Structure 1
Amino acid sequence: MFAKLGTLMDRHRWPVIGLWLAVTVAGAVFGGGLFDRLVETSTNRADSESAVAQRRIDELAPQGSMVIAVIEGREVYDGGLNASVSKAAQEIRGMPGVKEVNDLYTGPGGQIGADNMSTTVRVELDPKLGDADREQLEDKVKARLEQIEAPSVKVGGTKIAERAFAEQSVHDLAIGESVAFAALLVALVLIFGGVIAASLPLAVAIVGVTGSLLLLLGLSHVTKVSEYSLNVVTLLGIGLAVDYSLLIVARFREELLQHEPTEALVTAVARSGRAVAISGIAVALTLAGLTAFAEPLLAAVALGGAAVVVLATLAALTLVPALLAVAKNKIKPAGEGLWKPRGDRNLLARLATRAQKAPGPVALGVTIGLLVLAAPLLGANFANSDARALPHSNEARQAYDALQSKFNNNQPEDVVVLVEAGPERADVRMFMNQINGELQTYVFRLEVRPDVPKGYTILDLTPKGEVGGAESGELVRRIRAMQTPFAKSVTGPTAEVIDYRQSLAERLPLAGLVVLLVTVVLLFALTGSVIIPLKAVLMNLLTLLATLGVLVVVFQWGWGQIPLFFDSWGGVDLTTPVLLFVFIFGLSMDYEVFLLARIKEEYDQRPDTNRAVLRGITRSGPVVTAAAICIGIVFLGFTFGGLVAVKEIGVGMTVAVLIDVTVVRGLLLPALMTMLDSWNWWAPPFLRRRPAPPTRSTVVV
């Protein structure tokens, strides 16, 4: 099948290139429209308690967007500051769409900071404003507040922070792609020893980027596409496009040692195309498994990611052979550059040789080492990112920090309780007294929200402790557990995190089953074994746990703050481990398939497991190492941005690739295969395939 594909791409090279060029141009011309359609995507399911309660509160007592200015550096009772703030407040009150203005001089709710040299202006907008009108008014209010005569005026707010997140995401994407492409070009030239061969994977990566924008633009008309998912999906698409292209180009250069260019092209596609197709299907189906979680953000990543993976796979299987057909006489055979397929001194070959000499101790040592790296997970704090995920240079982040330190004493956001009964009822008053009494360890302040329709009560509870502290979560759990004669529900940021965690925990087994089935079925199709797929799942799980442990150290503990230029907020974004779970299992399939396909070729030629493992790793090791270097460069490119959540994915995938390609594939895989020997290829009798006799196309010389 894939030999025929290679022949077709060689014969119809120009129409194929023309088709992909059209996709590239269309993506470049129309793909920019995607950025106007990006939206904030909730992490919580619509049917979660916190989401349902928040929607009901918005109906009963809607609150508009808040624009908050923190004014610093001038004595708060200075006459000039009084006049400047008062004038700004009066002008803002006159703006259509402004509901209320609170400041120290002309309205209620004035605040003085802990340093006596700061105050705030809080502007609430009409909740009926549409998104476009709200954003326009936010900008107008922000501009006027920044004209207040003070040494420092920082303007923020929840919606302003969300917009800053979106703008930072687009900015990070541009930086990440620029850094990645520049570094990739250098790496590929060194690996392939020539500009022409190096340019082919980059060409496919460019097609992947523009094609991804086009695909996501189409998806944005049927579902929500968030700024965060755009970054993550594009990062994945570039990495896979380079990986798959590199595999085919590297195999073509190797075949040039024995065949003339056209035959080398057909043979390369025949031998590498199957591995690329299986890997692409595996990653796409694994990503599709994210839909099992049912959270809007994960669903957006699942759909976008699966589509982009299919695009990258198709481009690698069609565009790369077509480009090779055009440039085949100008590409040098293997042996030049860093990639030397016949060398027995490449990194993975050396590691595999050591592992096979002492397979038991090596397997045990690697396993213990990975579990040690995973140990910090025992104290992990997975939570939703807030304004602290923005870079410290961002004004919305600075306003948030100033509010927390000078006005809020770093207290967490309120836990909100919706009671479906009026405050005049005795049992409702008893409930509030119970909270103030039994839960005084966790509650700093209880306030009854005014102007709530009759028959309902909304309680705003300020928890004790700091942002992200244990007190907030315990307060939510205890209130939900309290028995009351009326219906009640709890919402707020802490409740949302708890609901998100619970939803992920409930659906994790289903997502895990999807990943397990994809891995087992596709690796069985490649190897005819059920032992190898199960072993792959266990190795990938060890990689995932070790990677998450490293992320806790780097981001939650803050060990990576200086080299990665971020401020730790004491946790890891709750979405990060879920995405890494899927990405690591999906991308690990790349290297698993690349190595096993070559090991299987060797084993089919001569059924000696130890020999097949060493020769397979020796021959495929360089291209796996090269692929890991390239995809690592792509992921590292995205650590140059400002969003902490995107940095977490970039660092996490880089660490996972490093662990997977060196420790897991270089040591653990050959050690386990040596220990199992012929049991590696075991399958139940009803699943066993009768091996085909060796043919010229399957013999490796």
Structure 2
Amino acid sequence: MLAGLGRAMYVRRFVVIAVWVVVAVAGAVFGGGVYDRTESMGTLPADAPAAVAQHRLDELAPEGERLVAVISGREVGAIALINSVTRIAYEIRALPGVAEVDDSYTTGNRRISTDQRASLITVELRPGLSDDEASRVAEQVSAALRRIDAPEILIGGELPAERDFADQAVRDAAVGESVALVCVALLLIVLLGGVLAGLLPLAAAVGAVTATLLALIGLASLLPVSDYTVNVVTLLGIGLAVDYSLLMIARFREERAADPRVAVPELLARTVGSAGRAVLVSGSAVAAALVGLFAFGGPLLSAMALGGALVVVLATVAGLTLVPALIAIAHRRIPARGRWRQRGPGLLARLAGFAQRRPGAVALTVTAGLLVLSAPLFFVQFGNSDVRVLPSSSEARQTHDAVRERFADPPKQPLTVVVEAAPDRPDVQRLFDIVEQLPGVSDVYPRSGLPPGVSAADVVPAGAEDGPQAQKLVADLRALDTPAPLLVAGPAAELADAKRSVAARLPVALAIIVVATGALLFALTRSVVVPVKAIAMNLLTLLATMGVLVAVFQWGWGAGVLGFEPWGALDLTTPLLLFVFGFGLSMDYEVFLLARIKQEWDRRTGDDAAANDRAVLAGITAAGPVVTTAALAIGIVFLGFVLGELVAVKEIGVGMAVAVLLDVTVVRGLLLPATMSLLGRWNWWRPGARTEAPPPLVPAG
């Protein structure tokens, strides 16, 4: 079937290319509109206790969005400043859509900085405003605040932070994709030995990404999509499309070199028939890994899974249709030998030869090294990304930092306890007294104005609003012996529930990914041992990568070089996305190598350990240059996104670059051949397979 597809791509090459050109143009023109449809979302499933609590609280006492302004630069007692703030505060109160204004001069709350040169103004918008209405009112409030007679005015809050995040995501995507595509183009032109040959994989990447942007516009009309989703998904699409293109080009070169007299349609049939199988298996493995994200149930991860599945399908389709069609037209301009076909064995072949000579020592050393790299995971702290992941140039971030640094008792978002019982009941009053005495509680403020039969209180944690102490306080509150059902809402409750949800659903996600990828590798190799070993090596790679991320982004090692400020934690979504994308891409290279190793094993002249070693070395020698070039290209793609300003995207970019580097060098170059040499013919064992004498566990000689 795949061979027939290759012939069809030759016959209909102009039609296929024309269709992809139309898609690319439409994606370039309309695809950017996806950012207008994105929205902020979290990782918390709708049935999580904190989500249920927040929903109940919104029913009882809905609150609007808040803007926070820091007015600074002159003495807070200056008459001109007092008059200006007072006048503007009353103007803002009169704006339609404003619910409340809290400042240091017209209300009883004194919010003055420790140096007496700054004050806070908090503006709450009316509950129930639509997103567009809230944005319009927020702009009017901001414009009024900026008319205050003060040298410096900073305006922040959730709405400005979301706007800054969206704007920064667009800029990061533009910079990251542009730099990545230019650098990858230069690399491929050099390694493939020609301009046209080097640009061919980039054409496939552009086609896949633009098609994905169009698909995401449709997806955004069905469910929420975040800016973060768009950035990460386009990054994945570029990498996969380049990988699949390189595999196709390399296979076409081999088929043409093996028999130059064969016509191009037959060469494409052989190319797609062999390399296309590896592309299909690889794409299916990556898609299976993305399906695992659905097991976590959160809106952000579900959107990421759907977006990722779209880009994997489109990158696979581009690899099986657009790339063969481009080869059919440009085959004369594809050199017979590029720089990736250097004289003598390539890097992976040399590493493999070294590993096969000392399989036991290499396997032990590499495994120990990867485990050492993963050691920082014992100290990992996870958090939900907030304004702290924005760059220091963001006004919302500057406002947040100014509030935290300049005010002795900065306002923080508290935990809110909701009890389904009347506040005048003695047992409810005793409950709130007990809450006030709990460790880690700074203040308790009972709420008023609630419907009959319901009580609520804001519980201010002593430390950070979502830090470890606040998360422990959530557990303590839920463990209380209460007179009626008790719910806890707030940032710490959301983070605690998100972590608990991830831990509970992780085995299901792992089972989906492991079973699906294991089955695909079994279909490719007809072996039980090889898939198990491949999955174990992928897990080692990802553990080591996560350890590096903890050292870099939590501890701040190299933060100055990478241009970010560590905030003491990793985003909770980072390990999940890194696991899925890293696992999928590692399987990508695994499939490329194993497909060729299996082909060499099937052509072996013996079935002993020596024949196994010959098959492994021959397969890595043949496929190694493709894998090395693909790894260099995709590493550049990921590093291009490190140039962005959003810390969450930097985490994914650095993590994927590290994962690719480890995977293609120490894992595929050393650990894979070493373990295959140790297992010998047992690599190819499967239930029911006929065996003769027990094979040796180490290579002969």
User: What TM-score does the superposition give when structure 1 sets the normalisation length?
Assistant: 0.95
Whole-angstrom distance in 1 between the partners of 2:675 and 2:410: 51
Q: Tell me the residue number matched to 2:479.
A: 481
Q: Tell me the residue number matched to 1:666.
A: 669
Q: Tell me the residue number matched to 1:217.
A: 217
Q: Tell me the residue number matched to 1:463.
A: 461
SS of the counterpart of 1:458? strand
Letter in 2 for 1:634: V
Q: CA deviation at 1:42?
A: 2.5
| 1:531-590 Cα distance to aligned partner (Å, 9 max, x none) | 000001100110111011100000000113211111111000000101111111111111
Letter in 2 for 1:616: G
Letter in 2 for 1:121: I
| 1:162-216 Cα distance to aligned partner (Å, 9 max, x none) | 2221221122111111111111111111111110001111001111111001111
Q: Tell me the residue number matched to 2:85.
A: 85
Letter in 2 for 1:527: T
Q: Tell me the residue number matched to 1:692.
A: none
Q: Tell me the residue number matched to 2:147.
A: 147
Deviates more, 1:668-677 or 1:77-86: 77-86
Matches within 5 A, 1:469-548: 469-548=467-546
Whole-angstrom distance in 2 between the partners of 1:258 and 1:329: 16
2:613 touches 2:680 (CA, 8 Å); kept in 1? Answer: yes
SS of the counterpart of 2:642? coil
Whole-angstrom distance in 2 between the partners of 1:592 and 1:49: 41
Deviates more, 1:160-169 or 1:478-487: 160-169
Q: CA deviation at 1:469?
A: 3.0
| 1:623-664 Cα distance to aligned partner (Å, 9 max, x none) | 100000111111111111111111111111000000100010
Letter in 2 for 1:192: L
1:411 touches 1:467 (CA, 8 Å); kept in 2? Answer: no
Q: CA deviation at 1:446?
A: 1.1
SS of the counterpart of 1:39? coil
Matches within 5 A, 1:256-655: 256-260=256-260, 262=264, 263-334=266-337, 336-337=338-339, 339-340=340-341, 343-407=343-407, 409=409, 413-437=413-437, 439=438, 441-606=439-604, 607=607, 608-655=611-658
Q: Tell me the residue number matched to 1:232.
A: 232
2:465 touches 2:492 (CA, 8 Å); kept in 1? Answer: no
Q: CA deviation at 1:267?
A: 2.6
Letter in 2 for 1:454: P
Letter in 1 for 2:148: I
Letter in 2 for 1:61: A
Runs of 4+ in 1 over 6 A off after TM superposition: none
Provide the aligned length of Structure 1 versus Structure 2: 683
Q: What value does the CA root-mean-square deviation take over the aligned residues?
A: 1.6
Q: Which segments of 5 or more consecutive residues in structure 2 lack a partner in the other structure?
A: 692-701
SS of the counterpart of 2:374? helix
Whole-angstrom distance in 1 between the partners of 2:393 and 2:220: 31
| 1:336-382 Cα distance to aligned partner (Å, 9 max, x none) | 32x117x4432111111111111111111111111111111101001
Q: Tell me the residue number matched to 1:40.
A: 40
Deviates more, 1:263-272 or 1:594-603: 263-272
Q: CA deviation at 1:467?
A: 5.0
Whole-angstrom distance in 2 between the partners of 1:135 and 1:402: 23
2:466 touches 2:491 (CA, 8 Å); kept in 1? Answer: no
Whole-angstrom distance in 2 between the partners of 1:323 and 1:283: 24
Whole-angstrom distance in 2 between the partners of 1:48 and 1:468: 17
1:359 touches 1:675 (CA, 8 Å); kept in 2? Answer: yes
Q: Per the alignment, do residues 467 and 427 of structure 1 end up closer, same or farther by CA in structure 2, a change over 3 Å counting?
A: closer
SS of the counterpart of 1:445? strand
Q: Per the alignment, do residues 229 and 408 of structure 1 end up closer, same or farther by CA in structure 2, a change over 3 Å counting?
A: farther
SS of the counterpart of 2:565? coil
Q: Tell me the residue number matched to 1:694.
A: none
| 1:451-497 Cα distance to aligned partner (Å, 9 max, x none) | 22222222111111235432101100011011112111111011001
1:200 touches 1:323 (CA, 8 Å); kept in 2? Answer: yes
SS of the counterpart of 1:665? helix
Q: CA deviation at 1:305?
A: 0.6
Q: Per the alignment, do residues 408 and 19 of structure 1 end up closer, same or farther by CA in structure 2, a change over 3 Å counting?
A: farther
Letter in 1 for 2:270: T
Q: Tell me the residue number matched to 2:111.
A: 111
Whole-angstrom distance in 2 between the partners of 1:73 and 1:466: 27
Whole-angstrom distance in 2 between the partners of 1:183 and 1:86: 55
Whole-angstrom distance in 1 between the partners of 2:464 and 2:497: 20
Matches within 5 A, 1:190-205: 190-205=190-205
1:416 touches 1:459 (CA, 8 Å); kept in 2? Answer: yes
Q: CA deviation at 1:253?
A: 2.5
Whole-angstrom distance in 2 between the partners of 1:410 and 1:283: 46
Q: Per the alignment, do residues 604 and 465 of structure 1 end up closer, same or farther by CA in structure 2, a change over 3 Å counting?
A: same
Matches within 5 A, 1:115-134: 115-134=115-134
Q: Tell me the residue number matched to 1:15.
A: 15
2:417 touches 2:487 (CA, 8 Å); kept in 1? Answer: yes
Q: CA deviation at 1:269?
A: 2.0
Deviates more, 1:80-89 or 1:377-386: 80-89
Letter in 2 for 1:326: I
Letter in 1 for 2:593: L
1:229 touches 1:300 (CA, 8 Å); kept in 2? Answer: yes
Q: Tell me the residue number matched to 1:691.
A: none
1:344 touches 1:618 (CA, 8 Å); kept in 2? Answer: no
Whole-angstrom distance in 1 between the partners of 2:34 and 2:520: 34
SS of the counterpart of 2:258? coil
Letter in 2 for 1:255: E
1:412 touches 1:472 (CA, 8 Å); kept in 2? Answer: no
Q: CA deviation at 1:410?
A: 6.7
Q: CA deviation at 1:255?
A: 3.0
2:465 touches 2:491 (CA, 8 Å); kept in 1? Answer: no
Letter in 2 for 1:669: L
Whole-angstrom distance in 1 between the partners of 2:209 and 2:9: 22
Q: CA deviation at 1:686?
A: 7.1
SS of the counterpart of 2:123? strand
Whole-angstrom distance in 2 between the partners of 1:686 and 1:673: 18
Whole-angstrom distance in 2 between the partners of 1:566 and 1:233: 22
Q: Tell me the residue number matched to 2:698.
A: none
1:42 touches 1:296 (CA, 8 Å); kept in 2? Answer: yes
2:414 touches 2:465 (CA, 8 Å); kept in 1? Answer: no
Q: CA deviation at 1:435?
A: 1.6
SS of the counterpart of 1:446? strand
SS of the counterpart of 1:490? strand
Whole-angstrom distance in 1 between the partners of 2:193 and 2:652: 31
Q: Tell me the residue number matched to 1:135.
A: 135
Deviates more, 1:256-265 or 1:323-332: 256-265
Deviates more, 1:28-37 or 1:252-261: 252-261
Q: Which segments of 5 or more consecutive residues in structure 1 lack a partner in the other structure?
A: 689-701
| 1:407-444 Cα distance to aligned partner (Å, 9 max, x none) | 2657863111111122211111111111222x1x3111
SS of the counterpart of 2:257? coil
User: What TM-score does the superposition give when structure 2 sets the normalisation length?
Assistant: 0.95
Q: Per the alignment, do residues 332 and 240 of structure 1 end up closer, same or farther by CA in structure 2, a change over 3 Å counting?
A: same
Q: Tell me the residue number matched to 2:679.
A: 676
Deviates more, 1:603-612 or 1:102-111: 102-111
Q: Structure 1 vs Structure 2: percent identity of aligned residues? A: 54
Whole-angstrom distance in 1 between the partners of 2:105 and 2:176: 46
